[in-house]
Amino acid sequence: MDLAFIKMEGAGNDYVYVDGVGRPLPDLDWPEVARRVSDRRFGVGSDGLILIARGERAPFRMIMFNADGSRGEMCGNGMRCLAFYVHAAGYTAAPEFEVETDGGPVRVAILESGRRRGRVRVDMGPPRLEPERIPTTLPGTPVVGAPLEVDGRTVRVAAVSMGNPHCVVFLDENHFGAPLDGLDLEAIGPLFEHHPAFPQRVNTEFVEVEGPDRLRMRVWERGSGETWACGTGACAALVAAALTGRSGRRARVGVRGGELEVEWAAGGHVFLSGPAVEVFRGTFPVEEERV
C-alpha cells in the first residue's frame, strides 16, 4: 500500500507525519515504518516518524518513533509541527489546546499560522530534576556538576528530564579538543547515549554560553544521532544554565537549524517557542503486514 505522509520541520528537526485524525491509522509495524521512512538515502529522510491520532482525554495524541524505530516520549519541535498541522488542517479552530504524549499531556498555543508555515509555543511543563525521574544514577537534586566517567575521562554534566532524559555538557568546564562546531559528535555522542548512568539512554546537549540570554548548542539524540535542533534539549540546556548561574531564566538557543526561544517561567513551567514548517507531502510504499 502507499502510505500518505506530510514532511515537516521545526528549526531543522524534521519528521515524517501520518495523519490519523482525518482517516484511521492503518495497522502496520510502525517501528519498521519509522526506520524505513527515516533513512536519508533509501527513504523519505527524517529524524523520525510521528503519528497524529485522536486523544482519549485531549483532542489529539502524538505517537513518536525515533529514526531507529524506538519509541520516544516527547519532542518539542515535533510537537510544534503537529500543533501547526492540526490547526491549519481545520481539525481545531482553538488557538490553544492539549496534545497527549507518552511523556504526559502538553499544552500548545498557535502564535502565527500561514498556509505552510507557522509559529507555535509549547508549554513543556516543569523540568524533572530528581534523579529517579530523569532517570539517572548520578547523584544530586538537582543533578548539576556531576562527574561522569566517559571513555577514560571525567566530564562534569547536568541531568534534566523534560518528559525525556537529557544530559547537558557545558563546554566552559569540559574541553574536547575542539570548539562546538568542530566536535565529532558521531564519535562522542554514542558514549553518552549508552552510558550506564542513564538506564533509558539519554539525549546529550553540548552547550556554549554566549551570554546571560544566549546559548548555542549541538545535540546527539538517542535513537536518531545528531539532529539540527531538539526542543526538549533546548529547554534542558536553559534549565541547566539557569541552575548553574550561567544564564537567566529566558534565552534564545541557537541550534544548527535556526533559533528557539525558551523561558523557565516563575510558575515553574518551561515554554518553548519556534517555527513549524510544512516541507512537502507524498506517499511511501509500505508492507501491509499486521502487527
Q: Which residues are catalytic?
A: 75, 230
Question: Beta-carbon neighbour count of residue 119 at 10 Å?
Answer: 19
81: enclosing H helix or E strand: helix 76-88
Q: Counting Cβ atoms within 10 Å, is residue 226 exposed (0-12), middle (13-18) or buried (19+)?
A: middle
In whole angstroms, what separates CA 23 from the centre of its chain?
A: 26
Closest CA to 52 of 64, 44, 37: 64
Contact 74, 232 (CB under 8 A): yes
Question: What is each CA distance from 24 to 51, 59, 88, 144, 235, in whole angstroms?
Answer: 11, 15, 19, 45, 33
- The DSSP output letter for 128 is B
Closest CA to 205 of 250, 177, 245, 164: 164
